[in-house]
Amino acid sequence: MKRNTGTDDETVRADGATATDWTDEARAPDTSELAGEGLVLGYPATDEPVLDGETVTATPGAVTALVGPNGSGKSTLLKGLANQLEPTDGSVLLDGQDIRSFGTKEMAKKLGLLSQESTSPGSISVEDLVFHGRYPHRGFFETVTAEDERAVDRAIELAGVDHLREREVASLSGGQKQLVWIAMVLAQETDVLLLDEPTTFLDLHHQLEVMEIIETLRDESDITVVVVLHDIEQAARLADRMVALKDGEIHARGTPEEVVTEGLLAEVFEIDAAVERTERGPRIEPIRARHDDDEPDAVHERPPRMEADE
Amino acid sequence: MDDTMSNEQRSVGPDRTATPGGTRLGWLFDRNLVSLAVLSTLLVVVSGIVQVSHGPFRMSYAEVGRSLTDQRVLFDVEVWKAFLLGHELPEMSNSNLVVWYMRLPRVLVGVFVGANLAVSGAIFQAVTRNELASPFILGVSSGAGAAILLTFVFLGGLVLYLPLIAAAGGALAFLVVYTIAWKNGTSPVRLVLAGVIVGTIFTSLQQGMFFFLQDISVAKSARAWTVGSLIGTDWEQIRMVLPWSVLAVVLALAGARQLNVLLLGKNTAKSLGMNVERVRFGLSSVGVLAAAATIAVAGIVSFVGLIVPHMVRNIVGSDYKKLVVGCLFAGPALVVSADVGARLFFQMLGSRGQIPVGIVTGLVGGPYFLYLMRKQEALGNI
């Protein structure tokens, strides 16, 4: 697996690889910065906001992972950043400009979102679905241009679904579907890409496929990626920067090495775990669930704090 | 990154040079779509000939065929001016007069009614993302019907403006439904429920107004209108429905890609940069227009807008480019054949009577709707 990353001091890996090949392109000024400032986010059904005044910045051209336990507000934060959820206070800035000032199509050319649950009519072909990713680039009556076809071809190749091109989406496995949906947002050719738990519910093979796509994006393009991941080990392996949330508050942010520590796992995820540094990033060995009274062995389900999220 | 994977699967994958260039209009030559169009056209032609041959002046099918292909009519500009612009009719042979002037319009109006209702239903099904939606279910038809009865009963002088009044009534009903169902965006289930309830209210209004009808002949004509009938239609109805149908169909075809994106769901459509509420509203207006145009000339023909898009979707798939084109053929086939079916049925019973086509489509469509509800677990989500 390639581990080419930027040369920012903070993204130096445990293995010491600080590849410089991509630096100039990857950190070129045309990368986009996405930042949420003082975000207060909640759902109409509940009075209390899920997030109450959090500030988060996605490093341009890098992968930022949002992690946290169920109900920590990580998906809510992503929805806020994607403008799917209107913040009651604070604002989301894309390259310093409030995203509410963009037109809907203008916005969709800059920022793509892969939601957790995507539905499509079953009989649509993979290729047709990926072509929908070109929606923001086309006028109302415009037909497909060579540029659209090139973007679709690239997206399909990058997502590795070329062999599925003519298949009907309904006939695909869950993992294949997810790759196709990723191809669709890639065809959108945005500067910023937001992914909401892209690996959850997938088998290991497809989890790794998805992670490889994100790695390729990080290594070979200027795209700024923000990804919500359930699996903290996966996040540590994939991300340049990590943001750990608990109860709607950001508890830690920094490189995976800084964030993934035994102390943080105890505090945010309420588990005792051993963290081991390996050349593929930190490896976590969960030992037991922590409880307030810290009784040993008992691992029972905690009620989710907020049903609105996740 | 996917070298190993794509290498081993490349040989299995289909030859992809076939599609991208052909996507422009290649979809029109989809095998299922072409078969559907050919079969539907045959059905319309056969039903049409049977329909035209019936009546007080009985003609053989051969005579009808000869008259329909008569060059003196087909290529006479004056005749078409008379038909389409309402100019004075030039001299014609008796059989041509009966076929072209008196009986063919009924078939043609059936064609327009079928096509419009099917396209309207297809649009509403995408907007609500629900297979159970149709102008009838969403209250559009009842609203238009109530407006028509209102005109008959209280505003007799305005009968000339009936098409416009029907459209206004349909649009009003849909607006009420849409406003009530709108709450942080429209959910399909809310939309259909509101449609059924608003439809019931408007139907009650219709029923109520019958009590105010004094003149028995007006009552009869009003009743025919509320059930949907092609009896007695002539070229004037065609002149009335033609421009609106063309407009609605062109807009529906132009909006096919928007309809396809709407099918991906509100969140995806929004993240792709669609102004979802605006597009839904605009396309619904096209649906109302198409439905109102038919209601103005033929009254409320129920269930066509529900059944046809569903059947066409089963045959050509959910791509709206194909679906709308398929509806343009299958809709007329259903309405024209139902109309002639009703007539032949009565003939078999030895009666000269005719029943309105809306009763036939209702008798066929109602059970089909129930079957759909039974089959679909998630209340007809597309």
Helix B235-254 × helix B320-348 angle, to 10°? 150
The whole-angstrom distance between B327's CA and the closest CA on chain A is 17
pLDDT at residue A241 above 80?
A: yes
A121, B2: Cβ pair inside 8 Å?
A: no
- What part of A 234-273 touches B (C-beta under 8 Å)? none
- In whole angstroms, how far apart are CA B145 and each of A49, A80, B124, B197, B356? 48, 46, 19, 15, 15
Name residue A241's beta-bridge partners.
A64
Contact A104/B270, CB-based, under 8 Å?
Answer: yes
User: Are the beta carbons of B270 and A84 separated by less than 8 Å?
Assistant: yes
Q: Which residues pair with A277 in a beta bridge?
A: A282
Please tell me if residue A23 touches chain B, with a CB cutoff of 8 Å.
no
Please give the pLDDT value at position B381. Answer: 60
Predicted local confidence at residue B10, as pLDDT: 36
Of A119, A138, A166, the CB nearest to B14: A166
Q: Is the Cβ of A77 closer than 8 Å to some Cβ of chain B?
A: no
pLDDT of residue A19: 40
How far is CA B13 from each of CA A162, B8, B23, B355, rounded to the nearest angstrom?
8, 10, 19, 55
Nearest CA in chain B to A164: B13
Strand partners, A300: none
pLDDT at B138: 87
Residue A302, in any domain of the structure: no
Number of separate domains in chain B? 1
Structural domain for B195, as ranges: 104-378
Express each pLDDT in B1-59 by its tens digit.
Answer: 444 433 333 333 333 333 444 445 677 788 899 999 999 999 999 999 999 988 777 78
Residue of B nearest to A85 (CA): B267
| Chain A positions in Cβ-Cβ contact with residue B25 (cut-off 8 Å) | none
Smallest CA-to-CA distance from A70 within A251, A295, A246, A283 is with: A246
d(CA A79, CA A99): 13
Give the tens place of pLDDT for each residue, A62-77.
Answer: 999 999 998 899 999 9
Q: Using a CB–CB cutoff of 8 Å, tell me whether A112 touches chain B.
A: yes
* Contact state of A124 with B318 under an 8 Å Cβ cutoff: yes
pLDDT of residue A294: 58
User: What is the Cα–Cα distance from A264 to A282, expressed in whole angstroms?
Assistant: 13
Which amino acid, residue B152?
F
3-state secondary structure labels for all residues of chain B: CCHHHHHHHHCCCCCHHHCHHHHCCHHHHCHHHHHHHHHHHHHHHHHHHHHHHCCCCCCCHHHHHHHHCCHHHHCCHHHHHHHHHCCCCCCCCHHHHHHHHHHHHHHHHHHHHHHHHHHHHHHHHHHHCECCCCCCCCCHHHHHHHHHHHHHHHCHHHHHHHHHHHHHHHHHHHHHHHHHHECCCECHHHHHHHHHHHHHHHHHHHHHHHCCCCCHHHHHHHHHHHHCCCCCCCHHHHHHHHHHHHHHHHHHHHCHHHHHHHCCCHHHHHHCCCCHHHHHHHHHHHHHHHHHHHHHHHCCCCCHHHHHHHHHHHHHCCCHHHHHHHHHHHHHHHHHHHHHHHHHHHHHCCCCCCCCHHHHHHHHHHHHHHHHHHHCCCCCEC
Across A222-226, B21-25, B138-142, B214-218, which has the greatest mean pLDDT?
A222-226
Residue B18 lies in a domain: no
For residues A191 and A2, which has the higher predicted lDDT (pLDDT)?
Answer: A191
For residues B74 and A52, which has the higher predicted lDDT (pLDDT)? A52
A15 against A145, higher pLDDT: A145
Give per-residue pLDDT as tens, B82-128: 888 888 888 888 888 888 888 899 999 999 999 999 999 999 999 88
Looking at the partner chain, which of B20, B265, B274 has a beta carbon nearest the beta carbon of A135? B274
- Check which CATH number belongs to the domain holding A260 and give it: 3.40.50.300
Which of the two residues, B274 and A280, has the higher pLDDT score?
A: B274
Q: How far, in Å, CA of B335 to CA of B182, rounded?
A: 33
Q: Select from B5, B260, B272 the Cβ nearest to the Cβ of A136.
A: B272
* CA–CA distance, A60 with A25 (Å, rounded to integer): 12
User: In the predicted model, what is the mean pLDDT of residues B322-348?
Assistant: 91
Q: How far is CA B77 from CA A72, A239, B73, B83, in A?
A: 75, 74, 8, 10
Q: Give the residue with greater pLDDT, A279 vs A149.
A: A149
Q: Which of A107, A149, A162 sits opposite B20 (nearest CB)?
A: A149
Question: Which residue range forms the structural domain that includes residue A168?
Answer: 34-289
Number of A/B CB contacts below 8 angstroms equals: 102
Average pLDDT value for chain B: 83
Q: Who contacts B306 (Cβ-Cβ below 8 Å, separation ≥6)?
A: B121, B132, B133, B134, B136, B137, B365, B368, B369
Of A126, A203, A204, the closest CA to residue A159 belongs to A126
Pick from A255, A227, A232, A220: which is nearest to A2 by CA? A220
State residue B136's pLDDT score. 84
B134-182 per-position pLDDT tens digit: 888 888 888 988 888 888 777 777 766 777 788 789 889 988 988 888 7
CA distance B308 to B327: 7
pTM: 0.83
Helices B104-128/B276-298 angle, 10° precision: 160
Where does residue A300 rank: exposed (0-12), middle (13-18), buried (19+ CB within 10 A)?
Answer: exposed
Domain count, chain A: 1
The alpha carbon of residue A21 is apart from the nearest alpha carbon of chain B, in Å, by 18
A228 falls within a domain: yes
CB–CB contact A166 B19 (8 Å):
yes
A165 inside 8 A of chain B by CB: yes
Q: What is the pLDDT of residue B127?
A: 87
Test mutation, A85, A128, A194, chain B, max B CBs within 10 A: A128
Nearest CA in chain A to B320: A124
Q: What is the CATH number of the domain that holds B203?
A: 1.10.3470.10
Shortest Cα–Cα distance, A264 to chain B (Å): 33
pLDDT in tens, A158-175: 999 999 999 999 899 999
A-chain residues near B24 (CB < 8 A): 143-144
What per-residue confidence (pLDDT) applies to A208? 93
**Contact across the interface for B272 and A213, Cβ inside 8 Å:** no
Task: Using the predicted structure, report yes or no on whether residue A14 has a pLDDT greater than 70.
Answer: no
- Cα three-residue angle A123-B259-B317, rounded to 5 degrees: 25
Q: Is residue A310 part of a domain?
A: no
| Residues in chain A within 8 Å Cβ distance of B14 | 165-166
Q: Does A164 touch chain B (CB under 8 A)?
A: yes
B265–A123: do the CB atoms touch at under 8 Å? no
E strand or H helix at A197 = none
Residues 180-239 of A with CB under 8 A from B: 185, 188, 209, 212-213, 215-216
- CB-based contact (8 Å) between A173 and chain B? no
Average pLDDT, stretch A172-200?
94
Mention every residue, 6+ apart, whose C-beta is less than 8 A from residue B233: B105, B106, B109, B297, B298
CA angle B274, B277, B283 (to 5 degrees): 90
Angle at B116 between CA B292 and CA B96, to 5 degrees: 105
Domain contains B284: yes
Confidence bin at B380 (pLDDT 50/70/90): low
Residue among A232, A229, A226, A178 nearest A205 (CA): A178
Taking only the tens place, the pLDDT of each residue in B228-263 is 888 888 888 898 889 889 999 999 999 999 999 999
pLDDT at B342: 82
- Judge: A140–B258 Cβ closer than 8 Å, yes or no: yes
Which chain A residue shows the shortest CA-CA distance from B130?
Answer: A121
Is A241 within the bounds of a domain? yes
Residue A221 tokens read as: 């393009």
Judge whether A139 is closer than 8 Å to chain B, CB to CB. Answer: no
Summarize the confidence of residues B344-351 as an average pLDDT: 77
With beta carbons under 8 A apart, name residues in chain A contacting B2: 157, 160, 209, 212
Percent of chain A with pLDDT over 90: 56
Task: Specify the pLDDT at position A26.
Answer: 41
Among A95-109, A138-152, B15-29, B205-219, the minimum mean pLDDT is found in B15-29
For residue range B273-332, list pLDDT tens digits in order: 999 889 988 998 899 889 988 888 888 888 899 899 999 998 998 899 999 999 999 999
- According to the model, what pLDDT value does residue A227 have? 95
Nearest CA in chain A to B12: A163
Nearest to B1 among A119, A143, A212 (CB): A212
Verify whether the Cβ–Cβ distance B1 to A160 is below 8 Å.
Answer: yes
